[in-house]
Amino acid sequence: MTDTTVAPPAPAPAEAPPGNQALAKAALLLLRGRTLVVLVVLVAFFSAISPEYLTQSNLILMTKHVAINAILAIGVTFVILTGGIDLSVGSIAGLASMVSGGLLFTGLALPGGTVFFSVAVVILIGIVVGALVGAVNGLLVTRFKVAPFIATLGMLYVARGVAQLRSDGGTFPDLAGTPERGNQGFHVIGVDSLLGIPVAVWIMAAVAAAAIVVTTRTPFGRRVYAVGGNERAAVLSGIRVNRVKIAVYVISGACAALAGLLLTSELGAAYPDTATTYELNAIAAAVLGGTALAGGRGTIIGTVMGAFVIGFLSDGLVLVGVSTFWQSVVKGAVIVFAVITEQAQQRLQSGLAKRTA
């Protein structure tokens, strides 16, 4: 076995102009870290215009806004890495909001009387509901071979509709709970702070850390990338592709539910149209962070950065008094620009790889 023909030593790269190569490498580094570069530029730009921007209180407020979108986007990133898409996360967030809000406000009506659960259990139920909806998405995509775009577009409507049915379109206005029911404290996750930093931001950090470990340090993470990179090769490597796909939709659903609960806690009330269109911001954050919609390429850290760029950009534009219409224009342009630079990076990368091959 070990006696294979010995490969001749690779020829020295003939007279490579070192300047060009170094320049290309520097450009590549800049492109790889472009989300960070954009973020720094944004912060510098807005703090030059408005002294308010770079204050501690504003930074904390903006980061709190970022947290919800980042959690949604992290979940969606898992799905996109496998080559799928999840359009239903906004609706799942809304559904989780109404399920948990209803449990806190009206309780669960059982034959023996109305039951109230503690906040921790309510949050858990909300997340499980999100995960189950995600599992349905996953089954539609795998067992029934529905294109992810269609399956989750359908779920976008269904989940939103169910959220509205939960209260007949109404609102659960008071989620504070009472001592007798033993369900106080829902405000902790969306309103309170720990060590001067909002709890929601801590939760985002925890979710991001867990997602980074899963994507980079576990066999499951490797399989997620493999399924998105080349599904047929993944099948032949013995990877249970359907399981991986169902799992990423479950992760996405659970993340969406968590984000919906944070938002509900922050608002102090559960509205059936909570987080409407948030799926678009989440997908935008993933794409901005370098996740390829074709699958197989992208990082959690990139997605979190993408969420920061979107959040800091939107809030900055509000702070300096740009109209909402222009905000929309700027956001859209930034997203498209991000994809253009992503492609430039891919070209440069493969160019460099060929030269060093």
Partner 1 sequence: MTSDEVLVARGVSKSYGGVRALKDVTFTAYRGKVNVLVGENGAGKSTLMKILSGSEQPTAGEILLDGEPVKLASPRDAMARGIGIIHQELSLFPNLSIAENIFAGRELRRARRFVDGGEQRRRTREVLRRLGQDLDPDTLVGDLPIGQQQLVEIGRALLEDVRVLIMDEPTSALSSHEVDVLFDVMGDLRAQDVTVIYISHKLDEFRRIGDWVTVFRDGGLVAHESMSRTDTGWIVRQMVGRDPDTLYTRNTSPTGDVLLDVRNLTVPGPTRALVDDVSLTVRAGEVVGVYGLMGAGRTELVECLMGLRRASTGEVRVRGTLEPKATVRARLKAGLALVPEDRQRDGLVQTMSVRDNILLATIGRLTKAGLLRGGAEQRTAAAKVAELAIKMPGLAATVTALSGGNQQKVVLARALLTEPVVLLLDEPTRGIDVGAKGQIATLMAELAAAGFGVLFISSELAEVIAMADRVLVMARGRVTAEFTAANVTEEALVTASASEGVMA
> Which residues of this protein are in contact with partner 1, per CB under 8 A?
1-7, 10-11, 13-17, 20-21, 213, 217-219, 222-223, 225-226, 228-230, 232-240, 292, 296-297, 349-351, 353-357
Nearer to partner 1, 164 or 346 (CB): 346
> CA nearest 262: which of 185, 190, 187, 171?
190
Dist. CA 49–CA 320, nearest whole Å: 7
CA–CA dist 30, 32 (Å, integer): 6
Q: What letter would DSSP give residue 67?
A: H
Residue 166 contacts by C-beta under 8 Å, 6 or more apart in sequence?
Answer: 95, 98, 99, 102, 272
- Residue 306 to residue 287: CA distance in whole angstroms: 8
Name the helix (H) or strand (E) containing 288. helix 278-288
Query: Measured from the CB of residue 221, what is the shortest distance to partner 1 in angstroms?
Result: 8
> Residue 264 in contact with residue 95, Cβ under 8 Å?
no
| Minimum distance from residue 15 beta carbon to partner 1 (Å) | 6
Helices 324-356 & 34-49, crossing angle to 10 degrees? 150
Report the residue number, 178 or 350, with the smaller CB distance to partner 1.
350
Least distance in angstroms from the C-beta of 211 to partner 1:
14
Nearer to partner 1, 83 or 148 (CB): 83
Q: Which is nearer to partner 1, 13 or 169 (CB)?
A: 13
Instruction: Report, in Å, the least distance between residue 136 CB and partner 1.
Output: 24
Q: Are strands 193-194 and 113-115 parallel, antiparallel or unpaired?
A: unpaired
Which residue, 19 or 51, is less far from partner 1 as judged by CB?
19
Measured distance CA(221)–CA(215) in Å, rounded: 4
Least CB distance to partner 1 at residue 346 (A): 10
Tell me whether residue 108 or residue 233 sits nearer to partner 1 (CB atom).
233
Would you say 270 and 93 are in contact if contact means Cβ atoms under 8 Å apart? Answer: no
Residue (25 or 173) nearer to partner 1, CB: 25
Q: Considering the complex, what minimum distance in angstroms separates the CB of residue 67 from partner 1?
A: 26
**Smallest separation (angstroms) from partner 1 to the CB of 228:** 7
